[in-house]
Every structure is written in structure tokens, then in C-alpha cells.
Amino acid sequence: MKEAYVIGVDFGTDSVRSVIVNALNGEEIAAAVFQYPRWKQGLYCVPSKNQFRQHPLDYIEGLEATIKDCVHKAGPAVAALIKGISIDTTGSTPAAVDQKGQPLALSPEFADNPNAMFVLWKDHTATAEAAAINKHAARFETNFLQYVGGIYSSEWYWAKLLHIFKTDAAVRAHTVSWVEHADWLPFLLTGGSDIQQLKRGVCTAGHKALWSEAFSGFPPNDFFATLDPVLDGFVAHLPATTYAADQAAGTLCAEWAARLGLTTAVVIGIGAMDAHMGAVGGQIEPYHLSKVMGTSTCDMLVVPPDDLSGNKTVKGICGQVTGSVIPGMIGLEAGQSAFGDAYAWLKNVLAWPLRLLKETGGLSEAASAALIDELESRILPALAAAAAALPLEPTDPFAIDWLNGRRTPDANQLLHGALTGLGLGSDAPGIFKALVEATCFGAKAIVDRFEEEGVPIRGLIGVGGVARKSAYIMQVMADVMNMPIRIHRSEQTCAIGAAMFAATVAGIYPTVAAAMKAMGQGFDKEYFPDPERHAYYKERMETYKKIGAFLEHNNL
């Protein structure tokens, strides 16, 4: 096989990262990261209302900056041999677009309107609309929610679309279609100028937008028109055909080739969500749960189609879609709405007094800012070390991890987190310990649901920032789950997974499985459960479930 290189691009919640990878062996040649500037400033977001929006310029600027940086680092000889680009994004993160497929926020009229921007996955402004969809779906003989676990979430496509249409008449009037971030970026790179030509990925459409082969596409217009008149006729703008990420969206257009320093022969792949490509980058295996652990978690499972025959569905998860992870296999998705975000919340609470350093007058503004950054960066590692040294006592505090609602099992974004069992002796490491246990109990609830539904979990694969950075959290995870968890070697699993898809789309490998085998970086850590600690956590898991049930029953 001749020398060839590919680019994988991973759009996360806070930043975008791109990597140039040697397609023959998976070696990372160059990497670059770009923090979204508008998002970093908190623009267009209202956390108290669970509103989280991102401006498309953050994405465009980040795409160009990271790829150009990678190309510069790799040099012209490598750039000339780049064969493909594939992209993953957080999801569901859709936006309103015009006839040309341009997000409305890129027009002067809507430049500062959050409703015309991408509605980030963690935006929960559409809880009422999700509840309406769930209630409405029960009226139909066909269960249009059966392939998304039976419960529609406010984090997903149709709930967000309905919320925007109901609250912003101007955006509604100018919207021609509603496009996921993962589908829009390949359209952008290929020079798309007609929304009807945009190719939609099966990953986003199947898991988030109710597309299914069983329905010959999306649910019919009657389903949406009777849900709310503002949706009447909208589904007619959506195609019945979707594509797996091993298919091409097109080739790099002349404008973007010039901007990036590449050629128009570069093949652009269909986009997918980060956890799905991250599972491939993490070398997922059938019945081994791939846990992509970052601000939230996305838990991915692949199952041979014959093993879920007879239209068997798994209740309370985020969907099961053929080809959404590995083409030809059924991809099942679950996850937690807050994982790293739960720890970040505690860090921010504890770090609040640090702002007083700016008011002391003893330090310059630059010095106080640098000191604050240093202290904040040390909080979580210090808490983890202290928590790991604590004895395991039955009287330890408890936490419920629903600080951003519950994704699975059984989506309910109206739920809240909680701390209980506190006393005057409770301290920061003890509270951190309770939060870590809670996130691991939430992860165990997902495994339990799969197994209750007849889908066995035979192993755990950990990928992502939290998996690699926190030995304490991973050990608690293994102890709670009572099974080993392997940690993938790659620091950029999602981007590497995207690169594997790029290599497949470019024809370097015949299948994603072949690309995964050739380019996979393997595992470098494994955590094994301790029987004594598991016995302790097994009892606490029962209390966790009781507290959670009490909170949910009483709407607390």
C-alpha cells in the first residue's frame, strides 16, 4: 500500500481538535486544538435557563484554524498525500438553515439571535416540547419512538426544532430546513449551496430524529402536523435516504481547498456523532460497552443484526440504529447527561472565592489571573487523591448525578442532582467521593438496563479525557461495575475514529473494521475490580436507587 494520510476532526463541547494520521498504521503526525472564542465568553448562553447555543463562526474558524495548523506542522509532502477528511460532532446539535444550507446566524439579520444558532446537545430549553412528543406518540398505532428507547429527549432534534419554532416566529419564517452539526460540516467543505443536496447521516437521523428503515424514513407528516401546526409540512423537506459514515459526502471544494492548503481530490466523508466515531477509534468490539467519558458520557454498543432480530428493542436508551457505529452492525447508544460536568460543577463551587484575589490589590491583574488558573487546575486532582485515601464508611454522604437531568436509562431532563447524608464533618473530598460514586452508579444503571433487556455486557472500554486522566474515577468504575475496564491508549479517540472513517471513505481500506484493525493504537491501562470495595458499592447502589426514586416520584 502506498503512503497516504487522512484527517480526522472532532468537534467537542468546548473546542475542536484535528489530527493528521498516517493511514497505514494510525500514527498521529500532527494535531491542533481550537477553543471556541464566543462560547468561551459565555455568549448566547443562559445557564440558569439551560440555554446553550453556539455560533457557527466558532465552528468555521475552528475548522480552518486546526486543519491549517496541522497541515503546516506536517509539511507540504504530507499535505500532498492527504486523501480524506471525516468529521464527528457532539449531538444532537442542530440549527436552522436557509435554502442554500447556510445557518441563519450567518446572515446579518440573525447574527446575534441565539435561536438562529446551533442548539448544543446540553441545551434543555425544550423539555416541555419533549414531553409533548412523548404524550403525542402514544396516540399512534405505530410506535415511532420504539427505536429511541421509547422516550424522546429534550436534547434531540425534533424537540429543539419545535421549541425554536414556537418561541421565535422570525426564525421559523426564514427556516427552510433544520440540520445537525455533523451533517452541515461535510456540506460546507464540499461547497454545498442547495439544502436539498445535503446528505444526512444515519447516525444523527436514526438516534436523534426518528428516522428508521422500518418507517421508510421519518415519521409521516400527520405525526408532526397533529403534534403542532408549526411543523405541518416540515418533514417534506427532509430526505428519506440517509448514509452511513463510510460513504462520501463529496470532495473538497475549490474554496476550502485553497483555505486549507489541500487539493480538491480530498474525499469528504459523511459526518457522525463524536461518541460513535470515538467508539471506532477506541476499537469497539461486539457486546463491549465503549464509554466515551468527557463532560457527559456516551455509551456505545455494537451488536450483530441477527442478535436483535424480530424487531427487538431496548427500552429507555438513546436508540438503536443499523450502521450508526460500524456499518452493517446495530449501534446502541446510552449515556449520562453529566459526568465530567458534575466534577466541574464542584470545582467551580469550591473555586468561587478565588475571584477575591482580583480585589485584594496585592497582585497585578495578570498575576491574579495566572494564580487563579493554576489553583483551579489543581482542585480536581487534589480532590481525587484525597478521596482515594478516604476509608469506605456506611455513613459516607450520597449524591445523585442528575445535575443536568438524566439521559439514560429513561430520559428525563427535568430531574435534578442531590447531596444527602451531609454533616458538620462533611468536607470537600468526601463530597467529591460521593459525586464520583454517583456518576459510577449512573453508569451501572445503564449496564443493568441492557442486561435486563437481554443484551449482555461482556466488557468495558474507557475512552476520552476522564478515562485517561483519573485513575481514581476509573478504579471506582471497575469496583462498582464489578468488571475490568480497559483504557484506550489514544488521547484523541474521537478524532482518530474520524480518521479511520476518512481512510475508509478514501478507499484506503475496504471496510471500517479493516481500518480499525490497521490504525488502532490499542490499550495501555486496565482497572480490575476489588471484591471488598464492590461489596461496599453494591449496598450503596441500592441506596442510590432509592434516593433517586424518591426524587423522581416527588419531582424534586
What is the domain-level CATH number for residue 169? Answer: 3.30.420.40
Residues 106 and 254 in one domain: yes
Do the domain assignments include residue 392? yes
Judge whether 509 lies within some domain: yes
* Same structural domain, 139 and 151: yes
Q: What is the pTM of this model?
A: 0.92
Same domain? For 481 and 505 the reply is no
Q: How far apart are CA 238 and CA 176, in angstroms?
A: 10
Range of the domain at 435: 340-489+524-553
Domain check: are 443 and 497 in the same one? no
503 in the same domain as 484: no
The pLDDT value given to residue 361: 73
Q: Assess whether 237 and 211 both reside in one domain.
A: yes
pLDDT value of position 550: 97
Do 418 and 497 belong to one domain?
Answer: no
How much is the pLDDT for 359? 83
Residue 250 lies in a domain: yes
The Cα–Cα gap between 392 and 458 comes to 28
In a domain, 106, yes or no: yes
Q: Are 217 and 237 in contact (CB under 8 A)?
A: no
Residue 304 lies in a domain: no
Q: Over the range 27-38, which residues count as b (16 or more CB within 10 Å of their CB) and which as e?
A: ebbbbbbbebeb
Region label for 411, one of left (φ > 0), alpha (ψ between -120 and 50) or beta (otherwise): beta
The residues, ordered by sequence, that sit 6+ positions from 184 with a Cβ below 8 Å of its Cβ are 95, 97, 101, 103, 198
CA distance 119 to 460: 31
Peptide bond preceding 92: is omega within 30 degrees of 0, i.e. cis? yes
Tell me whether residue 315 is in a domain: no
Taking 70 as the pLDDT cut, the residues of the chain under it are 309-311
Tell me the residue length of the chain: 556
For position 536, what pLDDT does the model report? 97
Domains: count for the chain? 2
Beta-strand pair 267-269/82-89: parallel
Answer yes or no: do 241 and 355 share one domain. Answer: no
Residues 134, 245 share a domain: yes
pLDDT of residue 310: 58
Residues 99, 245 within the same domain = yes
Q: Is residue 445 part of a domain?
A: yes
Please indicate, yes or no, whether residues 482 and 497 belong to a single structural domain of this protein: no
Predicted pLDDT of residue 219: 98
Statement to judge: residues 166 and 185 lie in one domain? yes
In a domain, 146, yes or no: yes
